[in-house]
């Protein structure tokens, strides 16, 4: 999860949309719904309306409102028709970006919603705003229908300023006043809301001075792991304001008993190295999911895999990746890396490497995990490690670096923690000069071979991983923890 993945939002130019039939409304519904939510065409309370982006998409705002009514399908019934919760939680995050902060924000909203629904007299209601990163249409379209319905519902929740708890869930550069073009969080600056809380994380050994200053303006800052509590305090953040709130994982969605494996040949997977294995149905599949950046350790993964295996091993590596400040020609990047390295092609030719070319919708992710035998990510640093936790929830044996965020949930019993050779310096980017881990190529080779050679042990670790996810990171547990913490904060204000 990258705190520095934010880019300047690209605002579409005004355009007129001509719709003349019921069929046309249906065909354009997803796009229009996305635009409506992203640019705040949905009516909001006057307390917030003046601070949201003005609609620039169409001269027919009533049409959008009608489409929202049409697309809402079966609205969620209100739990308490006569009791208005006294407080509103306005959660501001890059809900529509599809990145790490986006997926984490959705997990919190889902957890809180499920918890609040069970309360007879809830103290809080939920509202959401997109903030902190660009919108991604493909991600929105791939969300489960119930999540899109929740987005509509919560985006229309009205909040009063003096009873609102604002959660700024993004990297601190997006907080008021933002360092790039985005909806500020909190929307009107500090001092007008009940509480303002920051939610953020970093993947290196420290937090830079400007981010510490911004964090200290918050009433509290929530971080996901003990690793972050330590690094924030050591960097100069007020220890009285930092709280650990772990990230929930949707165990009903990521449930191996509910899905069948995805056909990897049907998702546009491109063979970029090696040859197709004739015994592909019985081959051992390693899966890795990451953004294409040096921090993720793709070079360590390629080097370990290609040194350890050949086509004779009946193994395959599938990589689902997306661009990060780069082009999408991942196949050539892999070929060029191998060509420029000192790796020598084995007599039995390279073990096959595939790049999953198609966008995998969120609803299909559990099936993708089910298609693999093991998950591997030799990252140099993680804020949390969302794909790692999702793989563990799917009972996959996991190999990943035992440093930074993943130390919160990795054990020798539920995974294969990858040791690192030491710390290396970040050479470029906003965290230049910071340190992160350097995963061991040799140890990764051994672990990948071991996982493949001992399927019984790997299966046992995978099963234990899901048990641990249920015990510590279920939405019910995390949702209750958040509500209890918010209530405690409010009690201390009185």
Taking the whole predicted model, whether its pTM rises above 0.85 is answered as no
Q: What is the pLDDT of residues 192-203, one digit of tens each?
A: 999 999 999 999
284 and 313 both lie in a single domain? yes
Express each pLDDT in 202-211 by its tens digit. Answer: 999 999 999 9
Contacts of 270 (CB under 8 A, 6+ apart): 331, 354, 355, 357
The reply to whether 32 falls in a domain is no
Asked if 224 and 117 touch (Cβ cutoff 8 Å), the reply is no
**Is residue 46 domain-resident?**
no
Helices 455-472 and 441-453: crossing angle in degrees, nearest 10, is 100
Specify if 62 maps to a domain: no
Do residues 269 and 352 make contact, with C-beta atoms less than 8 angstroms apart? no
Q: Are 244 and 296 in the same domain?
A: no
Token pair recorded at residue 379: 């990252």
Assess whether 227 and 353 both reside in one domain: no
Q: Pairing mode, if any, of strands 195-199 and 164-169?
A: parallel
What is the C-alpha separation between 101 and 185, in angstroms, rounded?
Answer: 15
CB 381 within 8 A of CB 4: no
Q: In this structure, are 465 and 487 located in the same domain?
A: no
238 and 337 share one domain: no
Q: Does residue 222 share a domain with residue 84?
A: yes
Pairing state of beta strands 315-323 and 353-356? parallel
pLDDT tens, residue by residue, 432-466: 999 999 999 999 999 999 999 999 999 999 999 99
User: Which strands, in side-by-side order, build the sheet including 374-377?
Assistant: 269-273, 353-356, 315-323, 284-292, 374-377, 398-401, 416-418
Q: Which domain holds residue 315?
A: 264-472
19-23, 25-29, 310-314, 486-490: which has the minimum mean pLDDT?
A: 19-23
Q: What burial class does residue 228 get, using C-beta atoms within 10 Å of its C-beta: 0-12 exposed, 13-18 middle, 19+ buried?
A: buried
Q: Is residue 406 part of a domain?
A: yes
Inform me whether the pLDDT recorded for 225 exceeds 70.
Answer: yes
Q: What is the per-residue pLDDT across 172-191, written as a single tens digit (0 to 9) for each? A: 999 999 999 999 999 989 99
Answer whether 104's CB lies under 8 Å from 246's CB. no
- CATH code assigned at 204: 3.40.50
Residue 24 has pLDDT above 70, yes or no: no
Same domain, 293 and 407: yes
Task: Please report whether residue 236 resides in a domain.
Answer: yes
CATH code of the domain covering residue 403: 3.40.50.2000
Q: How many domains does the chain have?
A: 2
CB 428: neighbour CB atoms within 10 A? Answer: 7
Is 255 a member of any domain?
Answer: no
Kindly state the average pLDDT of the residues 63-74: 38
Is residue 172 assigned to a domain? yes
Residue 174 shares a structural domain with residue 269: no
Tokens found for residue 421: 């050779």
> Is 346 found in the same domain as 221?
no
* Alpha-carbon gap, residue 172 to 198, rounded angstroms: 8
What are the structure tokens assigned to 257, written together? 């008993």
Same domain assignment for residues 162 and 221: yes
> Which residues are CB-contacts of 68 (< 8 A; sequence separation ≥ 6)?
33, 36, 42, 152
Residues 180 and 272 occupy one common structural domain:
no
Structural domain contains residue 417:
yes
In contact, 71 and 33? CB cutoff 8 Å: yes
Cβ atoms < 10 Å from Cβ of 95: 30
Same domain, 195 and 325: no
Mean pLDDT over each residue of the chain, to the nearest integer: 84
């Amino acid at each position: 999860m990258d705190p520095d993945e934010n880019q300047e939002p690209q605002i579409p130019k005004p355009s007129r949309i001509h719709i003349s039939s019921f069929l046309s409304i249906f065909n354009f519904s997803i796009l229009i719904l996305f635009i409506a939510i992203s640019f705040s065409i949905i009516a909001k309370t006057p307390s917030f309306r003046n601070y949201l982006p003005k609609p620039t998409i169409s001269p027919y705002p009533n049409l959008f409102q009608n489409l929202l009514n049409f697309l809402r399908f079966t609205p969620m019934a209100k739990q308490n028709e006569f009791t208005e919760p006294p407080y509103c939680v306005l959660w501001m995050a890059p809900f529509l970006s599809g990145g790490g902060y986006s997926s984490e924000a959705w997990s919190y909203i889902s957890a809180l919603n499920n918890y609040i629904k069970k309360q007879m007299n809830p103290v809080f209601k939920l509202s959401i705003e997109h903030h902190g990163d660009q919108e991604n249409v493909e991600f929105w379209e791939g969300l489960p229908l119930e999540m899109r319905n929740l987005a509509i519902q919560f985006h229309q929740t009205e909040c009063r300023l003096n009873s609102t708890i604002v959660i700024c869930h993004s990297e601190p550069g997006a907080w008021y006043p933002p360092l790039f073009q985005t909806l500020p969080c909190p929307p009107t600056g500090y001092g007008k809301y009940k509480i303002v809380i920051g939610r953020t994380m970093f993947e290196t050994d420290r937090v830079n001075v400007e981010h510490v200053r911004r964090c200290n303006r918050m009433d509290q800052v929530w971080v996901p792991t003990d690793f972050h509590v330590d690094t924030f305090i050591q960097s100069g953040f007020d220890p009285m304001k930092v709280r650990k709130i772990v990230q929930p994982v949707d165990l009903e969605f990521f449930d191996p008993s509910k899905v069948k494996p995805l056909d990897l040949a049907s998702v546009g997977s491109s063979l970029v190295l090696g040859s197709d294995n004739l015994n592909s149905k019985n081959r051992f599949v390693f899966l890795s999911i990451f953004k294409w950046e040096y921090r993720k350790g793709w070079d360590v993964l390629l080097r370990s895999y290609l040194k350890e295996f050949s086509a004779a091993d009946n193994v395959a590596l599938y990589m689902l990746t997306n661009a990060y400040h780069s082009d999408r020609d991942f196949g050539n990047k892999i070929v060029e890396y191998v060509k420029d390295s000192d790796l020598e092609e084995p007599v039995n030719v390279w073990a096959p490497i595939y790049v999953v070319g198609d966008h995998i919708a969120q609803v299909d992710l559990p099936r993708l995990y089910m298609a693999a035998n093991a998950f591997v990510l030799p990252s140099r640093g993680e804020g949390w490690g969302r794909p790692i936790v999702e793989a563990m929830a799917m009972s996959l044996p996991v190999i990943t670096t035992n440093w930074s965020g993943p130390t919160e949930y990795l054990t020798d019993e539920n995974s294969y923690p990858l040791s690192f050779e030491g710390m290396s310096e970040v050479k470029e980017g906003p965290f230049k000069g910071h340190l992160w881990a350097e995963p061991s190529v040799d140890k990764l080779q051994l672990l990948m071979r071991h996982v493949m050679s001992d399927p019984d042990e790997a299966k046992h670790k995978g099963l234990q991983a899901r048990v641990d996810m249920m015990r510590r990171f279920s939405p019910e547990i995390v949702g209750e923890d958040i509500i209890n913490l918010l209530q405690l904060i409010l009690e201390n204000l009185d």
